[in-house]
Amino acid sequence: MKRYLLLFLIFSLHASLCAQRDPVERDPLFASAYKKFEAKDFRGAYTDYTAYLTKKPQDATATYNRGLCAYELKDYPDGISNFNKSISMGRRKHDAYYSRGLCNYRLKKYEVAIADFDTALTIKSNYAKALTYKGASLDELDKFKESLSALDLAVQADPNYSTAYYFRGITKYHLRDFEGSLSDYNTSLSLKPINDTYFWRGLTYISLKRYEEAITDYDTVLRRDPKYATAYYNRAIAYFDLKNYEKSLSDNNKALELDPGKVAAYYNRALDKYELGRYKEAEPDFNATIDLKLNDAKHYYWRGVNYFELGKCSEAISDLNIAIQKDKTRASAYFYRACCKYVQGDHAGSIEDCTMALSIEKTQGAYCQRGISKCELNDYSGAVEDLTEALKLQPAYRVALQERGIAYYMLEKDELAIGDLDKAIGMGDINGRSHYYRGKLKKRGNDMAGSCADLKEAKALNYENAVEELVKNGCK
């Protein structure tokens, strides 16, 4: 089964910050700045607060408000500078520490942010916003249980604060409590339908194998933001698991168009092309995956398998060697290497790799390939044993029936051979091999008419030895 990287980004919900009014508002610059902030003209508000502060440099409220403008303008260091000044001027309120904490959170200084949120909580206990972003910061530090505790308190403090449910859903996702995560996203969306919440709920649906619902959520995300590369990437994963490889390929193409640096999308796109039988097209994507340093065992393994399908056995063996060095537990890596060695005529090596594969996992493919390789080394009894094991696992395995029938022919167990070849032909002889050997068996049983009929069928199916056998038989 294929595995792929499930990439996602954490997009925090916009944290609402409120400017503080001048209780008197006699100064027109302060009033203008406040109105511009409320109208989301943050640049204009910042300019007016700066002009006001040239007249009243010790106004802690105006300094705080200018910090909020800097935050909204994504100038987080300047926001911190203003909040520091505001606090030093005596404005030691919960919102100043909370706002400074948000700036530190955006700068990914999570430990510092947590200290600010804790200070805010000493001033205002049960402050839902500070508890929420403390939990979000702890989640970023992979302290998921501590994060969950903080977010539980946030939800208790304000049951209508959608952001608390959103972040708690993320933390529960990281704790692999997918049902709990889903419940929190549903609550968050009922309070405030935010794109990132749909994004994360879609990711949770994928983890729950509810792929259709995941696709519906990513459809919503992409209607709102058609340039959201990771949403295309994740929707492609859902389509892939539904075996809709064409749509998966389309989404991976779009993800790479929007974000050419999304390395895992090259790998997933290669898998789409592989499943569609477009092995030649898959090759450059597998190469890009490894060239861009996504080079775990599975990446070499799948490129090796793709090389095998292209008939490039030397390249396949090289990649499968690396895959096995990196992960000695993948049975199918040994199996495909065995198939390559068989093609190259290394039948002893093929048997050895099949034996390794079977020591990890008993599969009909490995038994069948080992049986075929044993036939090449004239170990027909050993071949019958392995092919019989393959047929126990998959009774309607045409190739195993055909090859066991041929092994029985070599052992002169004609009745058993005819029985297997009859069954194989009933399933469809795609290359004439079963008809050819059944024709030889019938000749041995003096059924010349039947022999000629089978050999003619083998010839029609382009089996290369059939023409010579027809001549030997004197078939007309």
Angle between helices 364-376 and 347-360 (to 10 degrees): 160
pLDDT at 15: 60
Q: What is the rounded distance in angstroms from the CA atom of residue 124 to the CA atom of residue 220?
A: 38
1 pLDDT band (50/70/90 cuts)?
very low
Q: What is the rounded distance in angstroms from the CA atom of residue 364 to the CA atom of residue 374?
A: 15
Q: What is the rounded distance in angstroms from the CA atom of residue 87 to the CA atom of residue 229?
A: 41
- C-beta of residue 244 within 8 angstroms of C-beta of residue 231: no
219 pLDDT band (50/70/90 cuts)?
very high
Is the predicted pLDDT of residue 408 greater than 90, yes or no?
yes
End-to-end CA distance of the chain: 50
Is the predicted pLDDT of residue 414 greater than 80, yes or no?
yes
**40-54: per-residue pLDDT in tens?**
999 999 999 999 999
**Residue linked to tokens 């790799």:** 353
26 pLDDT band (50/70/90 cuts)?
low
**Residue linked to tokens 């942010």:** 113
Which residues are within 8 A (CB) of 458 and not within 5 positions of it... i.e. 6 or more apart? 429, 432, 433, 435, 436, 439, 465, 466, 469
Look at residue 262 and give its three-state secondary structure: coil
Of 4-13, 106-115, 440-449, the least confident? 4-13
pLDDT at 91: 86
Q: What is the rounded distance in angstroms from the CA atom of residue 35 to the CA atom of residue 22?
A: 12
pLDDT at 5: 38
DSSP state, residue 73: T
**130-156: per-residue pLDDT in tens?**
999 999 999 999 999 999 999 999 999
Tokens of 55: 């007249």
Is the predicted pLDDT of residue 7 greater than 70, yes or no?
no
pLDDT at 10: 41
- C-beta of residue 128 within 8 angstroms of C-beta of residue 162: no
In 3D, which of 183, 173, 223 has the Cα closest to residue 203? 173
Averaged confidence pLDDT in the chain? 94
Residue 410 CA, distance from chain mean position: 48
Q: Compute, in degrees rounded to 10, the torsion defined by CA atoms 274, 275, 277, 278.
A: -40
Q: What is the rounded distance in angstroms from the CA atom of residue 465 to the CA atom of residue 462?
A: 9
9 pLDDT band (50/70/90 cuts)?
very low
pLDDT at 11: 39
- Phi and psi at 285, nearest 5°, equal -70, -40
Prediction pTM value: 0.86
Of 10-19, 116-125, 348-357, 461-470, the least confident? 10-19
Q: What is the rounded distance in angstroms from the CA atom of residue 224 to the CA atom of residue 218?
A: 10
DSSP state, residue 296: S
Q: What is the rounded distance in angstroms from the CA atom of residue 67 to the CA atom of residue 35?
A: 16
pLDDT at 27: 86
pLDDT at 92: 86
pLDDT at 288: 95
